[in-house]
Structure 1
Amino acid sequence: MKLADAISLYMQVIHANGCKGDSIRGVLALFVKYVGGERELSSISQTEVRAFLDGNLPLSHYWHRKHSALRGFFRFALARGLAPAIPLPARTPRCYQDYQPYVYSEDDIDRLITALDGACATLIEARTLRALVLLLYGTGLRLGEALHLCLADVDLPRQLLTVRDTKFYKTRWVPVGTHLVQILHEYIAAVHTPHSFEARDDIPLFVRRDGGRPTTSGVRRAFARLRSKAGVRRNDGARYQPRLHDMRATFAVRRLTTWYQQGADVQRLLPLLSTYLGHASIAATQVYLPMSPELLVEASSRLGHYVALEKQS
């Protein structure tokens, strides 16, 4: 079978199992471009696959992401008799470039918002970027989830957002605080006309200057310029600078730290945070536990308190 046809079948199976598989589809599309979609699966060699995996850049976690996508695809093809073997390298290199999400401080957010004053004119207006940054900071939404919000998904009187068809084809409700409700109210009043609400089902919440829905790539570029102007940088020697997606980690770490400070039962509350963030499992939420020194201090303090109580009993 030809590579492009086999990949089409594989993606159908992934979608049927309830996963969008955008990352997998992206890797496989690059692989098709690299070796050719009309190639028979049996003609693809291990040498070609290794060359695709290695690419021209230094080793990073993207190598393993590509490897994982190809491994899943070729296992699928082998199990159905579409390919005679799995042409992947026997050994996988170890990657030492672990990416540590950046946890924004309140000062970082203040500097970002201040830097929006007098921002350069682009398709993404300053007021749109401001509302988007504060929404991500205040809710921990994924960037794609925020950009896909429509006016019909924003219920300001009930302080509720409806996030539809997310990463795992699920829809969830996301409560928002009073301050964020006011920010969204002001943004909607400034950007959308009363006529927009007459056909609000498909009107995007966030819009560009030309009226279209912002793209993730466009927003990321605008945020990179804003972050540079605000002087928000990481100084831990990491390869990557703070990203918009790190607002999600920041939200989770702030929530966990607050719970620890309040003396709450964090393990009992983790499922609630997992549901709020739209994670598929609690394990995906637990990765945020060791991300902040403040959080580790609070956790250590709690542990020390329990140990002292045990010694007294």
Structure 2
Amino acid sequence: MAEAAWLLPDFVAFLEDRGQSTVTIAAALAWVKSREGEVVTTVSPRRVTAVRGFTRHLSGIDPDTEVPPLGLLPYRQRWRQPFLYSDADIAAVMAAAETLGPPPRSATYRTLIGLLAVAGLRVGEAINLDRDDIDWSEGVLRIRESKFGKSRLVPLQPTTINALREFDALRDEVVPQPKDPAFFISRTARRLLYAVASPTFRQLVDAARVGIDAPHPPRLHDLRHTFAIRTLLTWYRTGTNVQAKIPSLSTYLGHREPASTYWYLSAAPELLALAAARREGIGKAARP
């Protein structure tokens, strides 16, 4: 409902700009297209879902209301090459957050981006963090029932904990009584929504001119990919037994099984080359 409450006013404003008083399926599709272009993203079906719930209510008032059918915008997950952020890229995007206005908002996005970069969390996991999910003394995050219903503990470096503590103090000072127990809150003092965070991140990336020549625009989720690939690259470069360490990385990332973590071996050419060279070297050593 929180996401619908954010999306529907924009839809109503879109209808008013068109001078349209009755909701139609064509209008719903035109709204999605006007906000996201020709490409169906993960947010597109959620926009239609919000309109669908709204129109089911309206149809009892206005019989001409058209309710979008289920599956109107089916989204099929397609693999795409992740954008790998450099240290300079991440620093530039975090610096761009300073332009977002009041200190609480800029600090929210600066801290969120920094946490995603150094902990490899899914975006939803970071947004769903409550204040009680941070063990300050042990430096550990508790991720509750994330993807596949799995929960896990994520240890952090002391520098990361210090950054989170500074943000926590600032938020307490500016918003002493938030409306949600969330760690990351919006300007309404409620939990930050992905539907708000994603376009804001896009704005920051554009302002920082990060990935302007990339075949696909950088995404928030690519921070997680970058973390995983950097970890594997470091292991290969330092001669670590990667096969033995993969289960640990899989657990840290919250993957259902290590096989999901091996996907990253094909996500970066350098990593694939290192993995192939390591395998070839082991094969030669094993030959009589």
* Counterpart code for 2:275: A
The C-alpha deviation readout for 1:167-226, integer Å capped at 9, x for no partner, is 2222210111122111111111111259969x99x6211122331111101111110100
Quote the offset at 1:255 in angstroms: 1.1
Q: Does 1:141 align with 2:118?
A: no
CA contact (8 A) 2:89 2:210 kept: yes
- Separation (CA, whole Å) in 1 of partners of 2:281 and 2:212: 33
What is the distance in 2 between the residues matched to 1:194 and 1:104? 32
Cross-structure match for 2:28: none
Q: Verify the 8 A CA contact 1:131 1:187 in the aligned structure 2.
A: yes
Give the structure 2 partner of residue 243 of structure 1: 219
1:174 is aligned to: 154
Give the aligned partner of residue 108 of structure 1: 89
Q: Which structure has the bigger radius of gyration?
A: 1
Q: Which residue of 2 aligns with 1:161?
A: 141
Alignment-derived partner of residue 199 in structure 2: 221
8 Å contact from structure 1 (residues 153, 163) kept in 2: yes
Q: Give the one of 230, 245, 248 matched to 1:272.
A: 248
Q: In the alignment, is the contact (CA less than 8 A) between 1:102 and 1:242 conserved in 2?
A: yes
Over residues 232-254 of structure 1, what are the superposed CA-to-partner deviations in whole Å (9 max), with x where a residue is unaligned?
A: 11535x3x311001111111101
When normalised by structure 1's length, the TM-score is: 0.64
Q: Shift of residue 307 of structure 1?
A: 4.3
Q: Distance in 1 between matches of 2:157 and 2:111?
A: 14
Structure 1, unaligned stretches of length 5 or more? 1-22, 38-48, 56-61, 66-96
What is the deviation of 1:308?
4.5
Return the offset for 1:138. Answer: 0.8
Q: CA RMSD in A?
A: 3.4
- What letter is aligned with 1:208? S
Residue 276 to residue 234, structure 1, CA distance change in 2 (3 Å): farther
Give the match for residue 71 of structure 1.
none
Unpaired segments of 5 or more residues in structure 2?
A: 1-41, 57-68
- 1:69-89 C-alpha deviation (Å, 9 max, x unpaired): xxxxxxxxxxxxxxxxxxxxx
Q: How many residues align?
A: 232
3-state SS, counterpart of residue 168 of structure 1:
helix
Q: 1:230 aligns with which of 190, 201, 208?
A: 208
Task: Determine if contact 1:150/1:203 at 8 Å carries over to the other structure.
Answer: yes
Letter of the structure 1 residue corresponding to residue 134 of structure 2: V
Equivalents in 1 of 2:153, 2:94: separation in Å?
27
- Pairing 1:259–2:216 present: no
In structure 2, the partner of 1:121 is: 101
Deviation at 1:123, TM superposition (A): 10
CA distance in 2, matches of 1:214, 1:154: 17
**Structure 2 vs 1, CA of residues 186 and 210 (structure 1 numbering), >3 Å: closer, same or farther?**
same
Say whether residues 1:191 and 2:167 are aligned partners: no
Counterpart CA distance in 2 for 1:147 and 1:64 is 24
Give per-residue Cα distances to partners, 1:237-282, cap 9 Å, x unaligned: x3x3110011111111011111112222212221111111111122
